[in-house]
Amino acid sequence: MVSGDEKIMYWGSVKSFKHIILLFIVILIVLPIIAAVSLLFKSQKLSDELNTVKALADKSTINPILVDKIESAEQSSQIETPVAESESIDYQLDYPDLYATPVAKKLSKGEKKVYLTFDDGPSKQTPKILDVLDEFQVKATFFVVYKNDEFSNSMYKEIVNRGHTIGVHSASHNYNKIYSSVEYYLEDFNKMYLHIYELTGVKIDLFRFPGGSINSHNQSTYQPIIAEMIRRGFTFHDWNVQSGDTTKNVTKELIYNNVVNNVLKRNKSVVLMHDILSEVATVQALPEIIEEIKREGFSIDKLDATVAPFLFSYKN
């Protein structure tokens, strides 16, 4: 045992200073070694993470293609249809004939354009809409759903024969099904694509997502679905003017005001309307809408692969 006196003697002694100096030397040597070893481990871990991210980035088709797509729409350049590589995701190898080649161009300066689009047809309204369009010598775009009765099949053909654009909306229009995975989306899309092709001979290159490209049903799947559709060369169009024609108790006046007021605010409008049986007001409003838009100096045209698409913004 060390007595109290010995303790006092020790803490003032040369020996104690020697020990303190030794302790400092040990700390000065050991601490950097510990720090160096832990940094080495950390750097190894970060390097592994970096390699994983690099590998994912190499495989990923989302960002580079989306950026290409947006730039190509702006710069009028053409997108090459990417060749499926050995590291492709399985669904990229499905439906090898399901490809298109878009060429987008910009509006020329001072040009004022309106694209009328009709979703969810064909319906009993289709012949009436077609007649109004013919009357005013206007071409429009129909994003259709799958029906297989005689009347509907004749309407798909009629849309094409009268010079309008036909595009895929969805076979089932079932949000829960089509947005559950890329595979389900492609299966549904391919069914509609083939139906149009068999009836009209048109290999469509345009489509519109049910609910728009980004909606509350596809939060977890829209990015891979969009990436895959763009990779296949298809162009999709959202809209920047809503006619509001599916609003409850809608009137012809309401649709007219929604469309005309919003079209006048911009040079290029993609107007969302519906071709469904219950939308009588849409057909009623159409002649006056067309007249007014034309009077204001806008030309009305159909969408095609040369029209740079209006797309909803991505949210992170």
Say which amino acid occupies 234. F
Closest residue by beta carbon to Zn ion: 119
How many positions of this chain bind Zn ion (CB under 5 A)? 3
Select 92 or 123, whichever has its Cβ closest to Zn ion. Answer: 123
Stretch that binds Zn ion, among 78-86, 118-126, 180-188, 307-315 (CB under 5 A): 118-126
Q: Which stretch binds Zn ion (CB under 5 A): 20-28, 76-84, 205-213, 260-268?
A: 205-213
Site membership for Zn ion, residue 275 (CB under 5 A): no
C-beta separation of 72 from 104 below 8 A: yes
Using CB under 5 A as the binding rule, whether residue 120 contacts Zn ion is answered as yes
* Residue 284 CB, nearest approach to Zn ion (Å): 20
Residue 210 in the binding site for Zn ion (CB under 5 A): yes
Query: Where do the H-state alpha helices sit in 110-221?
Result: 126-135, 150-161, 175-178, 182-200
Q: Which residues of 235-274 are buried (b: 16+ CB within 10 A; e: fewer)?
A: bbbbbbbebbbbeeebebebbbebbbebbeeeebbbbbbb
Q: Does 188 bind Zn ion (CB under 5 A)?
A: no
Shortest reach from residue 117's CB to Zn ion, in Å: 11
- Nearest distance from C-beta of residue 171 to Zn ion, angstroms: 12
Task: Please answer whether residues 185 and 179 qualify as being in contact, where contact means their C-beta atoms are separated by less than 8 angstroms.
Answer: yes
Distances (CA, A) of 164 to 146, 153, 160, 264, 290: 18, 15, 5, 24, 16
Least Å from the CB of residue 170 to Zn ion: 7
Q: C-alpha dihedral over 134, 138, 142, 147, to 10 degrees?
A: 0
* Binding span for Zn ion by CB under 5 A among 62-70, 82-90, 113-121, 187-195: 113-121
Q: Which residues contribute to the site for Zn ion (CB under 5 A)?
A: 119-120, 210
